[in-house]
Chain A
Amino acid sequence: MGFKTSRRSRFTIRVTPHQIQNPDSAESCTLNQATLPSAAVHNPYQESRFTTKESGIVAFLCSEVALFSTLITTYIVFLGETIPGAIPGEMPTPANSLGLGLVIINSICLLSSSGTIYLGLKARGKGQHGLYLAWLALTILLGTLFLVGTGYEWYGLITEHHLTIGTNTFGSTFYTLIGFHAFHVSIGVVTMCILWGIEARRCLSAECEAPELVSWYWHFVDAIWIVIFTLVYIIGR
């Protein structure tokens, strides 16, 4: 007979209608309302400090910490190592190829974007939707600037210092560590663009946790940058 689930009809949790601030625009939402999260649903379970989605994102970010720890450890392991037999001064090293100027501007962009997304969420909490969208757009812009800056820095490293991922272990670890971080920034930028598109059509209820959780991810990416910046550009240079 095989495994079967019961024949009884699928239980549906009663979802309170989302409080859409602008009922007219609800027509334009293509997303299924029932799939969108809402804190207004009655929680039948034991009280907990974090909501389910918050716990999920925290757990995910913990796994990200483990990932970056590995990359950072690898960077530290190869710090100061050169190719056996290479003439000192000929190979690109952190000291002779990394510059601080551009990366400081980059860091200012990225770190201030943590502030702008925070201000945006604050505006959202107060119901100032336009202001929120503006802050979110500024965050996206700052994130993109960071990526452009990183790309420009890499261009300089490749053309002027002839540092590629295959040059030496410094190149391998540097591009992998910075690249992984930039990849995470890109994911954040894309996610925020999607969020902006959804929010511009006002498809999320006021209680929806998604914007908050996206900001957690973004703060995490910034925090990791502080560690990477300190290690790669200050201690390791």
Chain B
Amino acid sequence: MATVNSYSKSTTSATIPLVTRLHGWVSSVDHKQIGIMYLIMSFIFMVVGGLEAFLMRAQLWEANNTLVGPETFNQLFTMHGTTMIFFVIMPMLAGFANYFVPLMIGARDVAFPRLNALGFWLSFFGGCLLYYTYLGAEGLYGASNAPDIGWFAYAPLTSPAYSRGNATDYWILGTMMTGAGTIAFGVNLIATIFTMRAPGIRLTKLPLFVWMMLIDAILILLAFPPLTAAQVMLLFDRYLGAHFFDPQSGGSALLWQHLFWFFGHPEVYIMALPAFGIVSEIIPVFSRKVIFGYASMAAATAAIGLISVGVWAHHMFTVGMNDMVDTFFAASTFLIAIPTGIKIFNWVATLYGGRLQLRTPMLFALGFLSMFLIGGLTGIMLSVVPFDWQISDSYFLVAHFHYVLFGGSLFALIGGFYYWFPKMSGRMMNEQLGIWHFTFLFVGFNVLFFPMHIAGLLGMPRRVYTYAEPEWEIWNQLSTVGAAVMGVGFLLFFINIAHSLRHGETAGDDPWDAWTLEWATTSPPATYNFEEIPTVESRRPLWDLKHPDDPDSQYE
């Protein structure tokens, strides 16, 4: 292993010119290279989206602030939301799935490598198209202008009358392109998981990350096409004079909300399930225990997938639907808390009695567990219709979904990055910097988002560029300080990556003494992953290999 690494180091950097290496990346159809490109894309957009968030926080520092004007503020929260969802979390989970699903099931590549590359480039250029608006999209005053319609682009804000110029069109086309790339990714993943498992990996032996990515891919296929259809209708409205979302001509603005959230809510689970999967891999390894309740975990995942397509209108309680509809969607939202709760209890039961190793990936997994729990609990609060009527569109909601998407998804994804970095690069991340990163992020996160609950309960509305009440200042200032602390955390993260890529200690094949198949091959794996497709007998093939006297297969 070590010889392979040093060999590659000396030859690659010395003899192969940069252009050739770049060409190798750009034209690659290897699932591992595409996975890494997804991650790089995610980090680039994360920096941009993070800066946008920080600008908003700076604007909200004091009452009646005029640092950025209302137009700019509208653009900032639109771009921040769209970026973080479509171009940060989605590519990050796609990156991990691309890199590790084939490795975990003992496959040599994904089912359709070229389709995979197409999916990545569609996603990437979708992001570029969105950001091109800052340079070239004609806006309200003829100047360059970013979309300012919010990430869910409610009608009639998107109608030609309210959204002049073509920034909105770039938003539509950019996210539509990314959606097409994501569908390609989902198709690929399903075909890979169903037909390219190593001998012996029946569906009941799949690692939980793969299980959750499978449900995730199915949700992608259910949720993204409706968005694409709705966006095509919107384009027809804007350019061909159709009347889908135009109430004055018999269209329905409410229809857009239904169609958008029919995508939007499953999308929340599309972003959460991979996080669940990563945590289900990290917690057993660093507790030195088998995951508690494998079958209930897989079943809960399937249940979440099923229920998540029937909860979308809980985003629309304040619209004025009738009581029956409200009741149905409140009930289904309560219902989805059950499988999610099952998962939380399974993770806690896995921790219970384990010999915990508090390495960085584990810290992030524990951070995920606690933060996601808070986000989940406020989610249940918001599903109570009268409470939602009171609090919807306030900062309470902003706090809730950041606890879910940042404290939940992103914490777990970053934990996954620390966990799998040794496999991807052959080197360990710096543990000390990692712990500092976690500390800054965790403290900063809570200082940033917890006060938003209070600001929201006090009545501060979201998406408004400033406020007049001086008593809200303290909560906003706390949030802004938290944002700065988190910024330092991310700085440490990127320093850690840059440092560890060059100077990290050599990882070896299996630095965490883990049990799933990706750790059976070299770090980084050869292009073909496995010289011979392994035969698997249990859910922990490497445990069986390390403990031939006491293999898992005799218990499962």
Contacts and interface: CB of A to CB of B under 8 A. Distances in A.
Contacts of B12: 1, 4, 7
A20 interface: no
Contacts of B547: none
B221 interface: yes
A67 B195 contact: no
Interface in A44-99: 44-46, 48, 50-53, 55-56, 59-60, 62-64, 66-67, 69-71, 74, 77-78, 81-84
B226 A69 contact: yes
A10 interface: yes
B201 interface: yes
Interface stretch (B145-153, B229-237, B371-379, B404-412): B229-237
Interface residues of A, number: 49
Interface string B94-123: 000000000000111001100100000000
Contact of A63 (B186, B191, B249, B250): B186
Contacts of A3: 33, 36, 424-425, 501, 524
B464 interface: no
Interface string A158-175: 000000111011011101
A178 to B, nearest CB: 13
Contact of B501 (A1, A7, A81, A84): A1
Contact of B240 (A77, A82, A166): A166
Contacts, number: 178
B526 A6 contact: yes
Nearest to B521: A6
Interface string A1-45: 111111110110100000000000000000000000000000011
B23 interface: no
B250 A168 contact: yes
Contacts of B250: 78, 81-84, 168-169
A44 B528 CA distance: 13
Give the residue among B7, B200, B229, B528 with the most A Cβ atoms within 10 A.
Answer: B229
B51 interface: no
B527 A176 contact: no
B224 A50 contact: no
Contact of A59 (B4, B107, B186, B249): B186
A27 B12 CA distance: 39
Contact of A55 (B190, B199, B241, B252): B190
Contacts of A11: 108, 526-528, 531
Given A7-B7, A11-B527, A172-B251, A63 B187 contact: yes
A117 to B, nearest CB: 23
> Chain B binding site: helix, strand, loop or mixed by DSSP?
helix
A63 B185 CA distance: 12
Contact of B107 (A45, A51, A82): A45
Interface in A160-197: 164-166, 168-169, 171-173, 175-176, 180
B242 interface: yes
A64 B180 CA distance: 12
B424 A169 contact: no
Contacts of A81: 250
A1 B502 contact: yes
Contacts of B249: 83, 168-169
Contacts of A44: 198-199, 533
Contacts of A4: 8-9, 12, 426, 524
Nearest to B110: A52
A204 B238 CA distance: 45
Contact of A2 (B115, B501, B522): B501
Interface of B: 4, 7-9, 11-13, 30, 32-33, 36, 106-108, 111-112, 115, 183, 186-188, 190-192, 194-202, 217-218, 221-226, 228-230, 232-233, 236-237, 240-244, 248-252, 255, 259, 262, 424-426, 501-502, 522, 524-528, 531, 533
Nearest 8 pairs of A and B residues by beta carbon: A11-B528, A166-B241, A6-B526, A67-B225, A172-B242, A56-B191, A70-B229, A66-B225
Given A56-B115, A172-B242, 7 more contacts: A4-B524, A6-B525, A8-B526, A11-B531, A45-B198, A67-B226, A176-B232
